Amino acid sequence: MKIVTQDTSYTKENQRHRWAVCILTVLTITLAVLTAAIPGILLMLRRADAQVALGNAKSLRLALEMAALECYASDRPFADASCEGGVAGEVLTRVLTDSKAPGDFWVLQTDESGYELRRFLYQEGDFTVMYQKEPLTYEVYYRQTFIQTHDPRREKDS
């Protein structure tokens, strides 16, 4: 009678190989899912940031309209193309305080009297919001830099 013994080293090596294949398969599938999901997640985050910029632009519009009414009532100028933001200096401070908007704005157009806001531009980070009164629209744009150059010679000239 002959006793047959199995070589267990081959089966242990085979099991290790199977586990390695299983782990690599799971990692590959996980990486594929994440690669497909990341652009969607980034788009959702960018959309949320766009909603915040839109909300700040609406708050800014209300502050601009209130400042224009106050200027009209006290017979002070509201719009001034030569000043920052396109409004008189004291109006700029008041609007920024009232709206608490963290970005920059430019009044692009008022009516003939110079007190009714028709169009303005608001920029917050990489988002730009364009407001137009007639028809009432807000358009939110996203800016993404693809190429940025730097010319050190320009700094020397300044």
The pLDDT of residue 5: 57
Check whether 9 has a pLDDT greater than 60.
no
The pTM is what? 0.70
Alpha-carbon span 79 to 123, nearest angstrom: 19
Check whether 72 has a pLDDT greater than 70.
yes
Check whether 56 has a pLDDT greater than 90.
yes
The pLDDT of residue 13: 75
Residue 156 — pLDDT band, cuts 50, 70, 90?
low
Rounded mean pLDDT, 43-71:
93
Between residues 42 and 2, the one the model is more confident about: 42
Check whether 64 has a pLDDT greater than 90.
yes
Share of the chain above pLDDT 90, in %: 47
